[in-house]
Amino acid sequence: MKKLLLPMILLASIAQAQDNFSVPFNKINTEVQKNSKAFATLKYETEHIGHRLTGSPNGAKAEQYVFNLLKSYGCDVKFQPFSVESWSRKTISLKIGQANQLKTIKAVSLAYSPVKANVNAQIIDMGNGLESDYAANPDAVKGKIALIYLHTLPNSPKGTLSLHRSEKTAIAINNGAIGAIFINSVKNGVLLTGTASVTGKLISIPAICIGLEDGMALKEKLKTETQFAAIQMTNFSGIINARNVIATFKGTEKPNEKIVVGAHLDSWDLATGAIDNGIGSFAVIDMARTFAKLKFKNKRSVEFVLFMGEEQGLLGSKAYVELAKKTNKLKDVKFMLNYDMNNDQKGYLTTREEMKPLFTEWGKEVAKIDTGFKNLFVVNAGLHSDHQSFMVEGIPTGEGTGGKLPNNSGPYYHSDNDDFKFVDEQELKNTVRYSAMLTYALANTKEIPVQKLNEVEIKTFLEKFNLKEPLKIAGEWRWKD
């Protein structure tokens, strides 16, 4: 601790000396509070386009709508096209019961389930669907259908690991299951979709989600009776074309140093995706509008990027990073901020502890403008959003933290109830202004005191945040033990 203390103190004093952003921060605050377009443009999108599934006609309309918006704001905007294998649902039928008494249950397919499946087999309750649930009887689900709770079952032991649905599906496949039925954790029959593939490619078994009430009733029956399921589904899988949308503000002093501010524009197709991720993507669009309106001359370049394909496996951000690697431009990215369902944040989160002096000094200025901003500082690292594509390459990442989703909408992400009715206009403005201030600070501070990690450092970093196991399950752990 003593070794870290002195550099942190020195950095804090440097932060105080080098940065005085009160004037631009106040300009950002005034502009967003008076003229933000995020709420109105998101409302228009949900009413006139709807969902934004990557590769669909709706997805293409959303890409063009955002391009035109940014152009109208005076931004230097371009498309970044990419082609990738993608997936969309067609038909689903689920029947459950005793052998000759099957009844139809409402269900939704999980992404990257097979193009065609017709499975009829016994159901085995596998609890939380973790490796430990299979350990007692590794052959329990061979040739059968695994029933898995989507998140973590109530009354699970403290510290029970919470894995992504795709990782739980991979575990079920590895243990011989020929189907997977996930129980959503939200009341009133809400259905949730999302990817069941850790690779972004088709999986070998049908994976579906059912409502909480149906699922828990099935768990009870399995305690005393044998239950079977008949799953029939058809889906589409093939190469699709999509486009990231990028608005660039060229730096004046350090144009080859770049701050990337990203959010995924795409959504699933069950609803309009207003929360996931309309509130993130349209906040980023409005940040770009604010920078253009205020005509900022930034030391570093800033790219506001609306990624497509996040829901189907971080497709757009992976395409961005791969192109940057091929063109030797990835080294230019000094920091990446990601906004995925961020709302009304109370502070800043980053993967790098070294940023604390700067983030908290900037946060003090934000709190002077609005006491609702509590200047929280959090260090953490996770997976399954577009920051991952940058983070696993050693690039420092961050976002807002400490807020909560508007109007108790959290349970409805990825569901058939994710609609604009939940969006709160002032909370959306808060995301725009606090995040635009952080972006401005990163673009204009004298020095950013963190560098891209090398391969050894990346491995140590990922292990520190317990990300080795999920990355190994996904086949994305590139280091030898």
Q: At residue 445, does pLDDT exceed 50?
A: yes
Q: At residue 10, does pLDDT exceed 90?
A: no
Q: What is the pLDDT of residues 14-67, one digit of tens each?
A: 554 568 999 999 999 999 999 999 999 999 999 999 999 999 999 999 999 999
Cα-based distances in Å from 246 to 79, 90, 263: 6, 31, 11
In this structure, the number of other CB atoms found within 10 A of the CB of residue 345 comes to: 24
Q: Which domains does the chain have, with CATH numbers?
A: 19-85+239-450 (3.40.630.10), 100-225 (3.50.30.30)
The angle that helices 279-294 and 57-72 make with each other, rounded to 10 degrees, is 20
Q: At residue 4, does pLDDT exceed 70?
A: no
Q: At residue 450, does pLDDT exceed 90?
A: yes
pLDDT at 18: 63
Pairing outcome for strands 76-98 and 376-379? unpaired
pLDDT at 199: 86
Kindly state the helix (H) or strand (E) to which residue 371 belongs, with its residue range: none
pTM of the model as a whole? 0.91
**What b-and-e string marks burial along 161-186, b requiring 16 or more CB atoms within 10 Å of the CB?**
eebbbbbbbbbbbebbbbbbbbbbbb
Q: At residue 272, does pLDDT exceed 70?
A: yes
DSSP secondary structure letter of residue 276: I
E strand spans, 31-167? 76-98, 101-104, 107-109, 116-125, 145-149
With vertex at residue 381, the alpha carbon angle to CA 379 and CA 386, rounded to the nearest 5 degrees, is: 125
DSSP percent split of the chain into helix, strand, coil, nearest 5: 40, 25, 35
Q: How many residues does the chain have?
A: 481
Q: What is the pLDDT of residues 148-200, one digit of tens each?
A: 999 999 999 999 988 999 999 999 999 999 999 999 999 999 999 999 999 88
Residue type, 156: S
CA dihedral 267, 269, 270, 273 (to 10 degrees): 30
Average pLDDT over the chain, rounded to an integer: 95
Separation between Cα atoms, residue 269 and residue 282, nearest integer Å:
18
Separation between Cα atoms, residue 470 and residue 433, nearest integer Å:
34
Q: At residue 12, does pLDDT exceed 50?
A: no
Q: What is the pLDDT of residues 334-349, one digit of tens each?
A: 999 999 999 999 999 9
**Residues 205-219, mean pLDDT to the nearest whole number:** 98
For the ranges 18-22, 134-138, 243-247, 267-271, the one whose mean pLDDT is highest: 243-247
Q: At residue 481, does pLDDT exceed 80?
A: no
Q: At residue 365, does pLDDT exceed 90?
A: yes
Separation between Cα atoms, residue 419 and residue 415, nearest integer Å:
9
Separation between Cα atoms, residue 278 and residue 271, nearest integer Å:
12
* Rg, Å, the chain Cα set: 23
Q: At residue 136, does pLDDT exceed 90?
A: no
The structure tokens listed for 54 are 């990557």
Are 310 and 385 within 8 A, CB to CB? yes
Contacting residues for 159 by C-beta, under 8 A, at least 6 apart: none
Q: At residue 380, does pLDDT exceed 80?
A: yes
Q: What is the pLDDT of residues 290-315, one digit of tens each?
A: 999 999 999 999 999 999 999 988 99
Cα-based distances in Å from 222 to 1, 109, 126, 215, 416: 53, 22, 11, 11, 28
DSSP secondary structure letter of residue 473: H
Least confident of 36-40, 296-300, 412-416, 422-426: 412-416
Separation between Cα atoms, residue 54 and residue 58, nearest integer Å:
8
Contacting residues for 343 by C-beta, under 8 A, at least 6 apart: 279, 403, 404, 405, 406, 424, 427, 428, 430, 431
Q: How far apart are the first and last CA of the chain?
A: 29
**Residues 442-466, mean pLDDT to the nearest whole number:** 97
- Of 94, 312, 104, 101, which is closest to residue 206 (Cα–Cα)? 94
What does the DSSP assignment read for 402-422? S---GGG-GGGTTBTT--GGG
Q: What is the pLDDT of residues 56-108, one digit of tens each?
A: 999 999 999 999 999 999 999 999 999 988 899 999 999 999 988 999 999 99
With vertex at residue 274, the alpha carbon angle to CA 269 and CA 278, rounded to the nearest 5 degrees, is: 105
Q: At residue 7, does pLDDT exceed 70?
A: no
List beta partners, residue 82: 242
- Of 65, 70, 44, which is closest to residue 305 (Cα–Cα)? 70
Separation between Cα atoms, residue 350 and residue 348, nearest integer Å:
7
**Residues 233-238, mean pLDDT to the nearest whole number:** 96
Contacting residues for 329 by C-beta, under 8 A, at least 6 apart: 323
Q: At residue 6, does pLDDT exceed 70?
A: no
Separation between Cα atoms, residue 388 and residue 380, nearest integer Å:
12
pLDDT at 15: 53
**Residues 273-285, mean pLDDT to the nearest whole number:** 98
Q: pLDDT-derived band of residue 3, with 50, 70 and 90 as boundaries?
A: very low
